[in-house]
């Protein structure tokens, strides 16, 4: 679970905080934890996380 190091906003030099967001992709809704700067609102979404979710959804669709 702790594979990510703390990520710091490069603008504010503040530690990003976890926030839950909902995504909609190809008619499926799912959620993910993203990192967001509490000061400027800049979000950081790990590409690996997004790709993982997309793959999950695509596998669900192929199942049908
Ligand atoms: Zn910031």
- Percent of the chain predicted with pLDDT > 90: 23
pLDDT confidence of residue 39: 96
If you measure from the C-alpha of residue 16 to the centroid of ligand 1, how many angstroms do you get, rounded to a whole number? Answer: 8
If you measure from the C-alpha of residue 28 to the centroid of ligand 1, how many angstroms do you get, rounded to a whole number? Answer: 31
Query: How is 1-62 classified by DSSP, letter by letter?
Result: ---SPP-B-TTT--B-EEEEEEEEETTEEEEEEEEE-TTT--EE--HHHHHHHHHHHHHHHH
If you measure from the C-alpha of residue 4 to the centroid of ligand 1, how many angstroms do you get, rounded to a whole number? Answer: 18
pLDDT confidence of residue 46: 66
**CB-based contacts of 57-62 (< 8 A; 24+ apart in sequence):** 57/25, 57/26, 57/28, 57/30, 60/28, 61/26
Taking only the tens place, the pLDDT of each residue in 3-35 is 557 788 989 999 999 888 888 888 988 887 888
pLDDT confidence of residue 49: 65
Boundaries of every domain in the chain: 17-62
pLDDT confidence of residue 57: 73
Confidence of residue 2 (pLDDT cuts 50, 70, 90): low
């Amino acid at each position: 679970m702790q594979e990510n190091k703390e990520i710091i906003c490069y603008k504010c030099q503040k530690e990003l905080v976890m926030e839950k967001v909902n995504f909609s992709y190809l008619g499926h809704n799912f959620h993910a934890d993203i990192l967001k700067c509490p000061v400027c609102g800049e979000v950081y979404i790990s590409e690996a996380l997004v790709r993982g979710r997309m793959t999950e959804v695509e596998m669900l669709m192929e199942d049908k």
